[in-house]
Every structure is written in structure tokens, then in C-alpha cells.
Chain A
Amino acid sequence: MSVLVDRRTRVLTQGITGATGQLHTRLCREYGTQMVAGVTPGRGGTDFEGIPIFDTVARAVRETGADASVIYVPPAGAADAIMEAADAGLRVVVCITDGVPVLDMVRVKRFLEGRPTRLIGPNCPGIITPGECKIGIMPGYIHTPGRVGVVSRSGTLTYETVHQLTLLGIGQSTCIGIGGDPIIGTGFVDALRLFDEDPATDAIILIGEIGGTAEEDAASFIKAHVRKPVVTFIAGQTAPKGKRMGHAGAIIAGGRGTAAEKIEAFRAAGVRIAPSPAELGATMQGALREARLLS
């Protein structure tokens, strides 16, 4: 068991003929993901290393039974690609693209209302259920199958965390990179709900960062609903106000969105705070031992 994706997931790549789309389609297939189709308008009827390419997502879904999509389309077309995937009825849509205009995402969110599609991203590394299905750009080999769910706004900081867990012999059920943009599809609360309901997930690591109030909302949700152990770290404790720290969403505006506020919210919700990013794995190890989930 896992959340959202597993060995049965059938994935199509939107933007399969670009360099990034090709590289990661190949790497995901090598990992074991069922990469069943590609979409590039105007290239229908051709193939990429044996994977059939279609002009439209609707056609690709009809012909291959794909139920998930990953998007490597450049920023100007990314929002349109997400909407095309949702309109074709895909269950999970992962948008890797960095640099999507925020007002495009406002329209996308509106478009997704009332539709069954779950969007992950944009500006994210993707989602992986170790040993089963990798959709995105994360290095597969650092992951180990197991029972800790990971959800994060960051890419490489997630790799860092997963690597620490794997070195400690703690496997992961599913790792979700929700993305660093101000407006994203799946948020912390959505991911927490999925992990909380997943019988194969024992504990959850949530990696947040400055900006917005998604971490505060996550803390309220944990306090009210989540009984599984949760460990967190908030990046950007030393970040200055009013500066966008790489991620478009990582900005402390009007005194809101500071790391201190978020940490306090998590502490009040009974979440374990890793004292430093180097100790995320060890903090989870401690939490698992305390809950008698690890000897």
C-alpha cells in the first residue's frame, strides 16, 4: 500500500519530446514505472524509445489507459497542459515545470474545482512510491520501500531527508514533493490526510519552509486529526523579510510566514521539530522508537 501511485499506475508524459521530458521518461521507466504514452502536439504517431506519442492527452488516454500524467512542458504552456490532463480525466497529474505564472495557477485551480483530478505541483520534484512507481525527477536510488510518508515543499532538501532515512534503515511509503510555488495543487493538508488514512504509513515527515500559512494549516489539521507521529523541519529560519528565497512561495511578507510562527504552530500540535536539517532522519528514528514502531 501507498498513497496515490503504485506499481499499477500507468503514466503518460506531456512534453515527451523535450530534453527534460526524454531524460526523465527514460529514468522513470528504468526505475520500473509503467510509462505508457507521451504527448506532444504535432508528433502523434511517432514514438520515444518504443513509447507511443499522441497529439492529445484524450487520445493517449483512450489508446493506452493511462491514469496519471507528468508534465515537463515549458512555463508558458504548463497551465494549459494541466487543464488538458484534467479534462481527459486523469486521476493524478504531476507538474514538474518551474516558473508557471501565478495567475495561470489561479485559473487552473478554478478549472480543477469539482473535477476528480489530483494535481501535484507545479515546481516540484514529483511523487515516488519506492520500489513501485517514480513520477518525477528525484534520484530513485536514494529511496527504500518502507512505512514513513514524506511530504515537502522542497526538492533537494527532500532528497537529503530521504537519504538520511535510508541510511538509518527507515524506508518510505510514498514521498510527495508538493512544490515551492504560492499556488499549488495538492497541499500539506491533502497529503497529511492521505498518509493518515493509508494503512501502510506509520509516521509522517513534513518539510516546510517560510512563506504563506500552509504549515500553520497543516499544524491545525494534525492537532485535530492525525494520530500518527509527525516530524517536521522548517527551512528559512535565517531568511530576511520581503525577499523571495528562490522559490516563488518562499517569502516573508508583512511579517507573516516566518519560520518561528510555523515552528510554534507545530510545537503546539505536538509535532516533533528536527533541531537541524541534518537531524531529520534521527528525529524520525526517535519518534518511531517512542511509538514502538521501531526497536
Chain B
Amino acid sequence: MNIHEHQAKELLRRYGVAVPDGEACFTVDAAVATANRLGFPCVVKAQIHAGGRGKAGGVQVVRDAGEAEAAARTLLGKTLVTHQTGPQGRVVRRLLVERACRITRELYLGMVVDRTSGRVTVMASTEGGVEVEEVAARTPEKILRETIDPAVGFAAYQGRRLAFGLGLTKEQVAKAVGFMTALARCFVESDCSLAEINPLVVTADGGLLALDAKIGFDDNGLFRHPELRELRDPSEEDPREQEAAKHDLSYIALDGNIGCMVNGAGLAMATMDIIKAAGGMPANFLDVGGGATTEKVAAAFRILLSDAAVKAIFINIFGGILRCDVLADGVVQAARGVGLSIPLVVRMEGTNVDEGKAILAGSALDIITASDMLDGARKAVAAAGRRS
């Protein structure tokens, strides 16, 4: 789960990470009032779950109330297109109004769970304000790394090593160690999967501030953080993905026209791949999971059919614990209940497959059966082609 910059900064502030004074604003009036309270100059920042806002005009420095009002008016409701939003962009529904600061240096600080070492890695670089992937590709030697031992946590010497490596002064090093230690504590205690301070700035008075902050949480850890779950912003998420999440289905919208329903994430990805290999394009990733019930299958059906781009549905199930007869029952009931208006291709294999096939055959529904994955993908591509 991702959160907005202003939420990330509020969380960081609670852990003692230095962030600029500021407040989230949902209206023009609130933005002007906040700007007046903070004093000028200040910064009006569009809040969307995507980077590249500055280049897209989503961050504006304002010098008086009039400019603050104009900036807020321009940004609220505007569709911001950045290199991370895709061409459709994201609508700005909230702003962060912050006190501006005088910057002398822009640095980078990030933390991620590193899969290879199985530990949290802290990364720091003198190349602030640039995407770290870009720095890693061009000048990997400029990225300093420390790995946190989970038994002891982030150690002060690691902070010093990074801070001196960044060329900070003696006074700044102490501040940086405190900053990093607080960030590491926030990361571990909040079950983060990613925390990025980019840029981390050195101000004219020698202070360190998180000028921007991006935090992502491990979805698997959210059960122990009810207060963090509240930070979810549904307007930043695909409505079909949200509907799927309600039914404990894993769904991701894609650009094609063949709706897929599969059990298991690996098989679901492989099904998308084989559709492409057969000359078609999948409309989604959808894993109904191992414990699919009639109700879940029906919900999955409704989600697939709510996508107007879907011209055919391909169900690919390898029955293990989820038996084919149960799946077939679910498909038949769901198809009858939802009203199936487009071709449905079903490929089933595994536990009780013959019973499952008999249920489909006896249903009087117009179901195209497939003998294996490739056959199913070809039939789905052909069926979708006839309808578009």
C-alpha cells in the first residue's frame, strides 16, 4: 500500500524525522489559510501517488496569498500527467502546503527490503532529486549502502559512515545519524517495504530536512497497523482492483480484451503470457486463490464483465485443493446469475475434472471447452477477435 507525501511526512514527524512545516489541504480556502499561517514563501504541492510531479507542474512556489490561491485553484481538480502516471494521468484531490526553505545541497536517502540479503538496506547518495534507479544505472559508485542487522537495528556507526560518505560537515553528521536512525525505526516499526527521502536537503542554516517523502507498506504487515490502513486513499486505486480486494481476489487491470480467471498467481501470469503468445492481449490478472467459492467466482465474473473492453473470458483452473466440480458449479451459477453476454472459454484440469466437465456440459450454457492451456488461449483469442 502506498500513501501520500503529506501522510508520509506526518508519520515521519512522529518518529522525529525532520520534515518541513506544512499541512494537507483539500480546498483552495484551506490552502490559502495554511499559506498565510506558515508565512511566505511557501510551496504548494499536488498530492498524487506518483513521482515526477515537479516536472509536470505539480509543485509551485508562491510568494503571497494571491499566488497561493492561484496555485491551489490551478492544481485542485487538475489531471496531472507524469512519467509515472501513464498517459491518463491522475486527478489532484489534495495539496500539501509547506513552508519553503533555502537549499544548499540535495541528497538521497532510501530504505528497502533487499531480497538478496534478506535484510533492510539503507541507500544514500549525493545525487538528490534524481531517481535512484537512474543513478544506479549511470553512476552506481555514487550509491552508498548499509545493511541493517535485524538483531541490533540500524547502528550509529553505519549512520556516520553514510553521512561522512555524503561529505557532510561534523555538525551535520550528528543530525544525519539521528535522521537516519529515526527513519530506520519508522521503517521497521511500521512494516514499510520502501521509504525514500528524495531529496534530503541541507538547508542554508545547516539543518537537514526531508523535502519529499515516499513510503510504501508491506500489505502483509498491515494487519497489525490499523491506524496505517486508514491512510489508504481509494481515489488513487483502480475501482475494479478495490472491488476484487473486498472479495479477497487478487486482480490487476491490464490493457487487453480477454478477461482471465485463474487459480494461483504463477498460473495466472502464465495464462496472460500464453494469451499473448496466441496473438491476443489479456485484460487483467486475476487470481481467485485456492479456496474459491461460488460467491468468489461470481464476484470475479462481475468484475471481469464490468470492464467494457473485455470481449471474451478465459477460465484456466488447475484443480488441486480447489476441486474442478466445485469450480464448475460456481461458474455455472455465476454465469446464470450475472447473465453471460460474451464468449466463455473454460479449461479445467486436476482434481475431479471429469465431474467438472460434466457439470459444464449439462448446464446448457454456451461454454467453449478447451483441452489444455494453449488450446484455451487460442479459442479465447479467436472468440474475442470475432467480437471486436
The docked-state distance in angstroms from the alpha carbon of A143 to that of B56 is: 55
Tell me, yes or no, whether A277 is within 8 Å of chain B by CB: yes
Tell me, yes or no, whether B349 is within 8 Å of chain A by CB: yes
Q: Chain B: interface secondary structure?
A: mixed
Which of A60-68, A231-239, A265-273, A285-293 lies at the interface with chain B? A231-239
Tell me, yes or no, whether B257 is within 8 Å of chain A by CB: no
What residues make up the interface of B, taking CB atoms closer than 8 Å to A?
113, 115-116, 118-120, 132-133, 136, 149-151, 188, 191, 193, 218-221, 223-224, 250, 252, 254, 262-277, 281-282, 285, 287, 290, 318-321, 349-351, 372-374
The docked-state distance in angstroms from the alpha carbon of A238 to that of B262 is: 15
The docked-state distance in angstroms from the alpha carbon of A209 to that of B268 is: 11
Tell me, yes or no, whether A106 is within 8 Å of chain B by CB: yes
The docked-state distance in angstroms from the alpha carbon of A105 to that of B219 is: 14
Q: Is the CB of B318 within 8 A of A156?
A: yes
User: B267 — which chain A residues lie within 8 A by C-beta?
Assistant: 154-157, 160, 235, 277
User: A75 — which chain B residues lie within 8 A by C-beta?
Assistant: 220, 223
Tell me, yes or no, whether A130 is within 8 Å of chain B by CB: no
Q: Is the CB of A209 within 8 A of B115?
A: no
Q: Is the CB of A214 within 8 A of B115?
A: yes
Most chain B Cβ neighbours within 10 Å, of A109, A153, A240, A245 = A245
- Of the residues A141, A183, A233, contact of B115 by C-beta under 8 Å: A183
Chain A proximity of B115: nearest CB distance (Å): 5
Q: Is the CB of A101 within 8 A of B220?
A: yes
Please name the residue on chain A nearest to B274 by beta carbon.
Answer: A276
Q: A110-B150, A183-B118 are in contact. Are A247 and B266 (CB under 8 A)?
A: yes
For the complex of A and B, the 9 pairs showing the least CB-CB separation, nearest first, are: A154-B266, A246-B265, A156-B264, A157-B266, A101-B221, A277-B270, A235-B269, A278-B374, A156-B267
Tell me, yes or no, whether A103 is within 8 Å of chain B by CB: yes
The docked-state distance in angstroms from the alpha carbon of A138 to that of B285 is: 23
Q: Is the CB of B350 within 8 A of A152?
A: no
Please name the residue on chain B nearest to A163 by beta carbon.
Answer: B349
The docked-state distance in angstroms from the alpha carbon of A279 to that of B275 is: 14
Which of A37-45, A221-229, A248-256 lies at the interface with chain B? A248-256
The docked-state distance in angstroms from the alpha carbon of A115 to that of B193 is: 27
The contact sample of 19 A-B pairs, CB cut-off 8 A, is A101-B224, A102-B221, A103-B188, A109-B118, A141-B351, A154-B265, A156-B262, A158-B266, A160-B270, A163-B349, A213-B115, A235-B270, A237-B273, A238-B272, A239-B285, A246-B250, A247-B266, A255-B133, A278-B372
Within 8 A of B (CB), among A118-160: 125, 137-139, 141-142, 152-160
- Of the residues A138, A158, A275, contact of B277 by C-beta under 8 Å: A275
Interface size on A, residues (CB 8 A): 63
User: B318 — which chain A residues lie within 8 A by C-beta?
Assistant: 156-157, 159-160, 163
Chain B proximity of A224: nearest CB distance (Å): 17
Chain A proximity of B279: nearest CB distance (Å): 12
Q: Is the CB of A245 within 8 A of B252?
A: yes
User: A163 — which chain B residues lie within 8 A by C-beta?
Assistant: 318, 349-350
Within 8 A of B (CB), among A75-122: 75-76, 99-107, 109-110
Q: Is the CB of A106 within 8 A of B119?
A: yes
Please name the residue on chain A nearest to B119 by beta carbon.
Answer: A106
- Of the residues A101, A207, A243, A279, contact of B191 by C-beta under 8 Å: A101
Beyond contacts A100-B220, A106-B119, A238-B281: 4 other A-B pairs, Cβ-Cβ < 8 A, are A104-B221, A139-B320, A276-B374, A277-B373
Tell me, yes or no, whether A171 is within 8 Å of chain B by CB: no
The docked-state distance in angstroms from the alpha carbon of A95 to that of B252 is: 27
Chain B proximity of A248: nearest CB distance (Å): 6
User: A160 — which chain B residues lie within 8 A by C-beta?
Assistant: 267, 270, 318, 349, 373
Chain B proximity of A287: nearest CB distance (Å): 19
Please name the residue on chain A nearest to B255 by beta carbon.
Answer: A240
User: A247 — which chain B residues lie within 8 A by C-beta?
Assistant: 265-266
User: B150 — which chain A residues lie within 8 A by C-beta?
Assistant: 103, 106-107, 110
User: B113 — which chain A residues lie within 8 A by C-beta?
Assistant: 102-103, 106, 182-183
Chain A proximity of B80: nearest CB distance (Å): 17
Please name the residue on chain B nearest to A19 by beta carbon.
Answer: B291
Q: A156-B266, A183-B115, A276-B274 are in contact. Are A139 and B351 (CB under 8 A)?
A: yes
The docked-state distance in angstroms from the alpha carbon of A110 to that of B371 is: 46
Q: Is the CB of B115 within 8 A of A246?
A: no
The docked-state distance in angstroms from the alpha carbon of A235 to that of B224 is: 32
User: B265 — which chain A residues lie within 8 A by C-beta?
Assistant: 154, 180, 209, 245-247, 250
Chain A proximity of B206: nearest CB distance (Å): 32
Chain A proximity of B180: nearest CB distance (Å): 18
- Of the residues B149, B218, B219, contact of A110 by C-beta under 8 Å: B149
